[in-house]
Amino acid sequence: MSGPRRKAPARPDAAPHLQYKTPSPSKLPRQHPHPHTSSRMVRRGPWILGGVAVYGVTAYGAYLYTSYRSAVAASQTLDVPADVSDRYDATAAAFDADVDLTETLTGITFLRKRLARRARGDVLEVAAGTGRNLGYYDMGKVKSLTLLDLSAPMLDRARARWAELRPKGSPTAPAFVVQDAADPVPSPPAGGYDTVVQTMGLCSTPAPVRLLQTLGRETEAQSGRILLLEHGRSHYAWLNAVLDGLAPAHADRHGCWWNRDVGRIVQDSGLEVVEARRYHLGTTWWFELRPKARRSEDDETTKP
């Protein structure tokens, strides 16, 4: 039998056995970026973002400009008549939905309210459309209300709006008349209307000066007022160039010549300006007028 095995004595010239233990992650030394490298990255960041932003804006601007030039070229090839009022027959059903948000965001709705609240006595609204002003009249100051529009489908919408806004027993039920506002209004009140209202109507008639002159004759001569809210040419030449370039296409689609000089139309009508304001870079015109021409004609007839 053999006895227990003994370990051989270590050789003095043998290398010691080393054991390597992997340190835990928490004990590893932290690697800090070089301070110069970090600062360079911080400085370059805004430049990179700025470059991307400039490229995006430039590309989008080029796209808009190209689209605008194409739209102008297409618009100028259209043969659009001066009378585009028949377009409203086709757009009546969707008209309110198309303009509601735009008029609210641009403040046109607020201006409509302010204008309509000034109406009093016997009131005639021409180019009444779908009756967008009906809810803004102070019916306590209105004796009678006549709504006139050339488009029967638009006026049908106005009737429906009135039915929703006012009960059938309302003491002041409007009269709805389908006709051209440039023609004499049938059966006006004795002495004429106390207030004539028109909002966004001069853009669609082929004879805007004659229309205003007709309204002047329908207005009570001494204290009657004509209230206008219109859109047309701007204070600025660059914006007028945009309006002019796209005017045929806009008129063909929407029935509105949006580049008319409303101030010149009012001047040529012979009506007296009581108050005038402009909004939206001058493209929105607010007028309070009175029939100066009518009083002048009366003065001429009394001369010997």
| Secondary structure (DSSP) of the chain | ---PPPPPPPPTTSPPP----PPPGGGSPP-PPPHHHHHHHHHHHHHHHHHHHHHHHHHHHHHHHHHHHHHHHHHHT----S--TTHHHHHHHHHHHHHHHHHHHHTHHHHHHHHHTT--EEEEEES-TTTTTGGGS-TTTEEEEEEEES-HHHHHHHHHHHHHHS-TT-S-PPEEEES-TTSPPSSPPTT-BSEEEEES-TTT-S-HHHHHHHHHHHB-TTT-EEEEEEE---SSHHHHHHHHHHHHHHHHHHS--TT--HHHHHHHHTPEEEEEEEETTTTEEEEEEE-HHHHHHHHHHH--
Average pLDDT over residues 136-164: 94
Evaluate if residue 294 carries a pLDDT over 80. Answer: no
Evaluate if residue 242 carries a pLDDT over 60. Answer: yes
Write out pLDDT tens, residues 218-229: 999 999 999 999
Confidence of residue 80 (pLDDT cuts 50, 70, 90): confident
If one counts every other C-beta atom within 10 angstroms of the C-beta of residue 264, the result is 13
Q: Partners of 226 in the beta sheet?
A: 196, 289
The mean of the pLDDT values for the chain is 82
In the chain, the amino acid numbered 304 is P
Q: What is the pLDDT of residue 303?
A: 44
**Length of the chain (residues):** 304
Confidence of residue 50 (pLDDT cuts 50, 70, 90): low
Comparing 55 with 174, the larger pLDDT belongs to 174
Show the tokens assigned to 225.
């007022």
- Beta-sheet pairing, 284-290 with 225-231: antiparallel
What's the whole-model pTM score?
0.74
